Amino acid sequence: MSDNKTLSYGDLVVTLTSAFTPRWNDSGSGANRDGAFWHPTSQANNTLRPLGSVAVPHHNPLPNNHAVLLVGDNPAQRAKGIYDPAVASPVDYTLLWTDAGSGADADGSFWRPVPPAGYISLGDVAGVGRAKPRVDEVWCVRADLVSDGVYPEGSVWDDGGSGADADGSFWEVVPRPGGGAGEYVPVVAGTFRFTGGYAKPEGALAKVPALFVPRQKGAGVVGRPPVLTAEDEVPDVGQTSELAVQSAVTLPFTSFFDATDRQGLGNIRDPFCTVTKKVGWVVLEKFPNYQETVYTQTQSVTTGVRKTKSESTSHSAGVTISSEIGYGLSKWSVSLNYQFSFSQTSSIEEVQERTMSKTITVAPHTVAIAWGKKIVIQGVRSDGTRIEGEVSFNASEEVAVTDVPVKA
């Protein structure tokens, strides 16, 4: 079977996998909650590996029902001979916990990778029985390609009720809300951290990979509104000029949706989604003047994103657009403002709802057209299907006015 499609993000190559091998579950332990641990299957001759094992709060089969990140070193960057490899094998493992005394049907053990100097371990590993994992089962990531993560409320599983000799709990690691303010976008890897007892693990252990997603320079720059020369060319209010793609961000689908998203899993061979920002001009209002004299008109225009529209976008398209954060990934509240900013107007200012007044002078025998910047955010899956929840709004920028001559 062929490997899943990969994309390069600077020094890292990434993909998703839904292939796993079982490592341990708590069956027979008497624990209060079900828990199971699986290890993702590497690809590309083991050059693409997971960053740790996966913990889930159930005993259901995981293959083809869950997606996690695989990462590797970008050979194109290596050819330049500039950087240290983006990933490195751990040099050893430290034993964290075993199920000894739990009465589980199978033996289980959990280990923490020991990274080489300059690299960071991003997830813990479930062993096969009580055996130490091999060092080629996971990668550690170069420290400059790592971002802070957090633990969601509530552990994935703990040994409570099992009677194990030592207490322990297992916590998912996800990107920190508000992370990603520049060229590097934090993404979820599907890893967990163990801690003795039932409180959250040490915060410094919560780390996620950060993918290099630069701003697209010079793409889709929108100049002045269309030049119209005849009355029959005057568009209707609400009509939009041709939209230009100003920026696009492509990430693994787990950056936008749950790891169990059925449509994403169905496209696991190409497990990426792209969100584009398109910009054009929209007619806000038009003012005909068939008289011989000049007249003026003051027009109020509301621009930006209303709160209700922002919420609906977040829930359906996987992208949050609001006056508080600008543009971001709604799944993890990770900022995309750097990628989506192209002018002196910041992303937050661009989407803020505001009402402005514009006084328009209409010359004799002309139609004055008030134009605003229109922004359309669209999401597309790898198979070309559009993600529901396209959103459009008028940017919070100055209104532009053009004149078209009309017959008396």
What is the residue-wise DSSP string for 54-102? EEESS-S--TTT--EEEEEE-HHHHHHT-S--SEE--SEEEEEEE-TTS
Task: Note the pLDDT of residue 321.
Answer: 63
pLDDT class of 244 with cuts at 50, 70, 90: confident
Contact in structure between 185 and 156 (CB atoms under 8 Å): no
Kindly report, residue by residue over 378-402, the tens digit of the pLDDT.
888 888 888 766 667 777 666 888 9
**Statement: residue 317 has pLDDT above 90:** no
Would you list the DSSP string of 183-220? SEEE-----EEEESSSSPPPGGG-EEEEEE----TTTT
Kindly report, residue by residue over 84-120, the tens digit of the pLDDT.
899 999 999 999 999 999 999 999 999 999 999 999 9
What's the pTM value of the predicted model, to 2 decimals? Answer: 0.86
Kindly report, residue by residue over 11-34, the tens digit of the pLDDT.
999 999 999 999 999 999 999 999
**Statement: residue 220 has pLDDT above 60:** no
Among residues 184, 336, 313, 329, the alpha carbon closest in space to that of 255 is found at 329
Helix (H, G, I), strand (E, B) or coil at 52: coil
Lowest mean pLDDT among 44-53, 90-99, 254-263, 322-331: 322-331
Hey, how many other C-beta atoms are within 10 angstroms of the C-beta on 307?
Answer: 11
51 compared with 297, residue with greater pLDDT: 51
Token representation of residue 26? 């708590």
Task: Note the pLDDT of residue 373.
Answer: 84
Q: Count of alpha carbons within 13 Å of 29, Cβ hemisphere only? A: 29
Contact in structure between 298 and 328 (CB atoms under 8 Å): no
Contact in structure between 203 and 352 (CB atoms under 8 Å): no
DSSP assigned state of 140? E
User: How far is 302 from 325, CA to CA, in rounded Å?
Assistant: 19
User: How far is 391 from 306, CA to CA, in rounded Å?
Assistant: 11
DSSP assigned state of 399? P
Task: Note the pLDDT of residue 241.
Answer: 87
**Statement: residue 347 has pLDDT above 80:** no
The residue behind tokens 């100055």 is 398
pLDDT class of 408 with cuts at 50, 70, 90: low
User: How far is 90 from 125, CA to CA, in rounded Å?
Assistant: 11
Task: Note the pLDDT of residue 397.
Answer: 65
Task: Note the pLDDT of residue 326.
Answer: 60
**Statement: residue 313 has pLDDT above 70:** no
**Statement: residue 128 has pLDDT above 70:** yes
The residue behind tokens 């920026």 is 247
Hey, how many other C-beta atoms are within 10 angstroms of the C-beta on 397?
Answer: 17
DSSP assigned state of 134? P
Average pLDDT, the chain: 87
Hey, how many other C-beta atoms are within 10 angstroms of the C-beta on 376?
Answer: 18
The residue behind tokens 């100049």 is 223
**Statement: residue 249 has pLDDT above 60:** yes
User: How far is 313 from 317, CA to CA, in rounded Å?
Assistant: 5
Locate the domains of the chain by residue range. Answer: 7-212, 231-405
